[in-house]
Copies of this chain bind each other. A is one copy, B any other.
Amino acid sequence: MRYSRIQLRGRPVFAEVADGLAHVLDADPITGRAGRTGERVPLAGVDFLPPVIPGVFYAVGFNYRGHVERHRAEAPARPEVGYRANNALTGHRTPIVRPAGVSGRFEAEGEVVAVIGRTLKRASYQEAQASVFGWTIGNDVSAREWQHADRSFWRSKNSDTFKPMGPWIETGVDPLAQTTTVRVDGGIRAGFATGDMIFDPFDFIVETTKYLTMHPGDVLWMGADSTVQLEPGNVVEIEISGIGTLSNPVVAE
């Protein structure tokens, strides 16, 4: 099943995506029992929102072997989460805005995202597997000069529109057996096996929930193998097989 959030007559609603249509739902499918209202909208005309607004927005840094090797970085010894911020979220097809003050590397990273479906603490690996409601796609946009100049990631990774997510949550896919492809203006710029992680999503959930309770709707962005430069005027697409394609134009502020 594929679940999205869409803007309908100025209000956010949940929808099930099937047969080229967004079937409007009467409840949040992550936290409640959701049924179709009967209303449906052709996908081509849908205003996609981020499919979930998390209570906690977890993100992983260096977590792909190739990424660590190319940066000559030390591989992380433990699965330790970091954080991103909800103001930066934006939906499928909406613009990524490069702020006026950004110069230098302005980069996309295509990431598989776990959407948590249960409240869990001290989860076993099997409980972690059962806790994921579904999987979506994130584009972890970074302004690298700010990242190096600032004490935290506040504006380098959390400026408005720096975190496209969507287009929907896919509940029936093995996230570790897929391929991530990043295209800019239709040309392939990066491609990697989604499962080539140092620690997988369930390793992170096990380690995190030793200390932190995770809740339905929390998201965990799993990092990327490769970074891809973006310029205003580009359209960047992140395709993950079995899930879908997240597409966003890049514009200058």
User: For residues 142 through 172 of chain A, which have their beta carbon under 8 Å from a beta carbon of chain B?
Assistant: 150-152, 154-155, 158-160
Check if A86 sits within 8 Å of B55, measured CB to CB.
yes
Residue of B nearest to A81 (CB): B154
Interface string of A198-224 (1 = CB under 8 A from B): 000000000010111111000000000
Check if B212 sits within 8 Å of A154, measured CB to CB.
yes
CA A158 – CA B211 in complex, angstroms? 8
Check if B152 sits within 8 Å of A80, measured CB to CB.
yes
Oligomeric state, in number of copies?
2
Check if A56 sits within 8 Å of B86, measured CB to CB.
yes
User: For residues 80 through 106 of chain A, which have their beta carbon under 8 Å from a beta carbon of chain B?
Assistant: 80-83, 85-88, 99
A61 interfacial by beta-carbon distance below 8 Å? yes
Range of interface residues on chain A? 20 to 34
Assess A212 versus B56: contact at CB under 8 Å? Given A80-B154, A150-B80, A152-B81.
no
Assess A160 versus B87: contact at CB under 8 Å? Given A80-B151, A81-B154, A151-B76.
no
Check if B151 sits within 8 Å of A61, measured CB to CB.
yes
A76 — which chain B residues lie within 8 A by C-beta?
151
A152 — which chain B residues lie within 8 A by C-beta?
80-83
19 CB-based A-B contacts, threshold 8 Å: A53-B55, A55-B86, A56-B85, A56-B86, A56-B87, A61-B151, A80-B151, A82-B152, A83-B83, A87-B214, A121-B160, A154-B208, A154-B212, A155-B210, A158-B211, A158-B212, A159-B211, A159-B212, A160-B212
